[in-house]
Structure 1
Amino acid sequence: MEIDFTREIALKGILHAHSTNSDGILTPEQVLSFYKRTGYGFVSITDHNKLTRVSTDDLVVIPGVEINLGRTALGYDYHVVIIGLEEMPSENVRRSVQELIDWAKSQDLFVFIAHPYWSMLSMEDLLRLERYDAIEVFNTGCEVEISRGYSGVYWDYLLHAGRSVFGVAVDDTHHYSFDALGGWVVASVSEPSALEVLKSLKGGNFYSSSGPEIKRYKVERTLVEVESTKFTTIRIFSGKMRGIYFNTDFLKVVREKKFGFVKEFVESGEEGVYSAHARLEGGITLDLSLGENFAKFKIDGNLPLEKYVRIEVIDEKGRAAWLNPVRI
C-alpha cells in the first residue's frame, strides 16, 4: 500500500473543538477565524451534545458533535464524536453507545471515540463496541491539562485484536491558547469540500500530526518507506512482539561498527544532503537521506513485522506524526 500526499491537495483540519455553544470561550464564528488565520483548511466544531451550525467562505466547515453517553467499566461516560451530520440523533438512538455508532454509520458519517486515556477506558470498553472509524491517538487538551493525551497503546491493542481502526489527532480546545494547535489531521482531497474531506476520512486517506509533515509512505510485508519533513525517530509498530525502532543517533553506532549485525555501512554528504546505506544481519537494508527540511527513510528485507504496520514519525522537538495502519 502506498499513499502520496503530494498528488492531491493536502488539507489540514481540526476534528474536535468547542465553542460558546457548550464550554468553549470563543463563539463559533471566532473558532473559524482562529483556525483560518493559523493555516487550517477545514474545521469541525464539536460542541457537547449540541449541533453547532456555522458557515464561512474562508474554509471548509463540517458539522460535528461530541456526545457523552453510556457507562464504561469504571463508571465513566464514553465520549463519541460524529463528523458530517446535518441533524442531531434522536434520544432513542442515544440510549446506548453502539446504537449511536450504528446510527452514524447508517448515515455514512465519520465517527470516533474521543480521548480513551483521559476517559480511562479499558481495552474491553473499546472491544465491546463495533463499527467506529477511529480513536483519538492524540488529544492536545488532555495532554496539557492532565498528561493523558496519547492513546497509542489502545490503538495497537485494537489493531492486534483484528480491528480496522484509524487514528486521529485533535485539539479538543476550549481555551484557544495552551490547549490549541497541537493536534490535527491532513486529508488528501481533490478539492477543498466537505464531501471530499469526509471521503478522505472514511477511507483512511489522511495522516495525523502535532508537527511533522508527511509527503509519502509505502508499506509492504518486506518494505517500509517514509518521506517527510526532517525527523529524528521512526517508530514502526506491528503485531505480536514485533516492531522496529530507528533513531538518527543509531548512525553513530553503525559508523563505529561496534556491533556484528552491521555488515556494510556507507555514508556521504553532498550539497547539504546527508545519505547513508547500511546492510544489516538477516538480510535487512536501510537507506536514509536527510536534508534541511526533508527526510527519506527506507528499510527492506526480512523485517520483524506481523499482522499490521503503523508508523510514527518524530521530529527533534518531540512532535509526532501518526500514519494510518496497513494490514500485511
Structure 2
Amino acid sequence: MLPNFFTAPGRFHRGNLHTHSTQSDGVFSPQEVCQRYQAQGYDFIALTDHFVGLFDYPITDTTDFRNPNFTTLLGAELHTGHMENGNLWHLVSVGLPLDFTPPHAPTLQSVAGSESATSLAQRARDAGAFVAIAHPHWSGMSETDARSITAAHAVETYNHGCVVDNDRGEGFLILEHLLNRGRRLNLIATDDAHFNSPNHFGGWVMVKTTENTPGALLAALKAGAYYSSTGPEIHNIRLTSDGIKVDCSAAKTIVIQGNSTSTATLHGHAMTGECLSLERLKGSPWVRVTIIDEAGKRAWSNPIWMDG
C-alpha cells in the first residue's frame, strides 16, 4: 500500500545498518566508528562485525557509545554454509541479542555441514532482528539462492563499499525477482564500511520515528517506515486521481518502476513536487520510486503494493 509514515508524527533519522570495526576486519575501534558517524551527522548506526569463529563470533556491544543525540543498534553480519557458487552466505542482522547462538562458521570461507542460510536467517528474525540479504551482486547470488531466504525483511540494494571497491554494489535485480514472486520485501542502502578505503558515508536509511531509540528504530525498520538514499530526500509519496505524487528535494529525474519493463519517468530541473501517471504500470502489483539529483545521487522508496 502507499506509505503513510511520511505524514506520521516524528522525524527522519539517518542511519547506517552495515558497518565493521576492529572486532572483525574493520580499521577502527567500535568507539571510533561511532564517533565518526555521529560527527558526520548520522543519528544512529549498527555495527555488524563478521559473526565467525575467527573473530570469536562478535555481536559488538556499542551501548556505552550512545548519547542523547546518537544511538546504536546491536547486530552482526551472519555467515554460514555456501551459495550455489560455493561462496559463503552474508546476512545483515540488526537487533540481535548478545547471546545469539552462533552457527558453525569458523572463518570467512564456506565449510560443508554448516547450518543452512534459511535456518540462520529465521533464527535471527525469531530472535528479534531485522534481517537483510547482503550485497547480492558482489556475492554472485542466484535467484534460487535468494528465494531460499524466506525470513528476510529486505534486500541490500545499494552497498557503498562494494560500489567503491569492486563496482558490484547493487541488488535491485534480485529484489525484483523476489517481488515478482509475491515476496513483500523492502530494500536498504548501506555503507558496509571498513574504513580501509572510501567505503563510508555513502549509503544510508532514513527512518521515521518519534524518538531516536533502538526500540523505535528497529520497529520502524521492520514496518518499512523508511526510505534509502545516497543523497536526495523523499518528503512524501501519495496516490492522486492522476497517479502518484512525489515530493522530494531537488531532482532531475523521477522514476516509478514496476514489474516487467514499464516505467513512468519524468525528467526536468530542480523538481520538488511532481505527479507521474501510472497508466503504463497498470496491472503491476507493486511499484517503487527512484529520485535522481543533478549530481547523480539517488534515493529509493520501499516497494509499494497496490492492493493496499
Tell me the TM-score normalised to structure 2 length.
0.87
Q: Name stretches of at least 5 consecutive residues in structure 1 with no aligned partner.
A: 250-289
Match in the other structure for 1:62: 73
Deviations 1:24-45 (A, max 9, x none): 1110000110000110001100
Farther-moved stretch of structure 1 (169-178 vs 22-31): 169-178
Looking at structure 2, the residues matched to 105 and 187 of structure 1 have their Cα atoms a distance apart, in angstroms, of 19
Question: What's the offset of the Cα at 1:2?
Answer: 3.6
For the residue of structure 1 that corresponds to 2:141, the secondary structure is: coil
Please state if 1:79 is matched with 2:99: no
Deviations 1:273-292 (A, max 9, x none): xxxxxxxxxxxxxxxxx4xx
Matches within 5 A, 1:102-251: 102-175=122-195, 178-219=198-239, 223-248=243-268
Please state if 1:296 is matched with 2:273: yes
Looking at structure 2, the residues matched to 198 and 153 of structure 1 have their Cα atoms a distance apart, in angstroms, of 26
Letter of the 1:310 partner, please give it: R
Looking at structure 2, the residues matched to 313 and 301 of structure 1 have their Cα atoms a distance apart, in angstroms, of 16
Question: What's the offset of the Cα at 1:190?
Answer: 1.0
Match in the other structure for 1:41: 43
For the residue of structure 2 that corresponds to 1:22, the secondary structure is: coil
Q: Which runs of 4+ in 1 moved over 6 A?
A: none
Match in the other structure for 1:12: 14
> When you count strand as a share of all residues, which structure comes out higher?
1
Letter of the 1:32 partner, please give it: C
CA contact (8 A) 1:242 1:304 kept: yes
Relative to structure 1, the CA distance from residue 123 to residue 295 in structure 2 (aligned partners, 3 Å threshold; closer, same or farther) is: same
Deviations 1:125-180 (A, max 9, x none): 10122121001010000001010012112111111111111100000010165111
Looking at structure 2, the residues matched to 167 and 221 of structure 1 have their Cα atoms a distance apart, in angstroms, of 27
> Rg: which structure is higher?
1
Letter of the 1:167 partner, please give it: L
For the residue of structure 2 that corresponds to 1:316, the secondary structure is: coil
Farther-moved stretch of structure 1 (184-193 vs 7-16): 7-16
CA contact (8 A) 1:219 1:309 kept: no
Q: Name stretches of at least 5 consecutive residues in structure 2 with no aligned partner.
A: 52-57, 105-113
Deviations 1:178-221 (A, max 9, x none): 11110000000011111110011000000000000111112479
CA contact (8 A) 1:219 1:326 kept: no
Farther-moved stretch of structure 1 (117-126 vs 217-226): 217-226
| CA RMSD in angstroms, aligned pairs only | 1.9
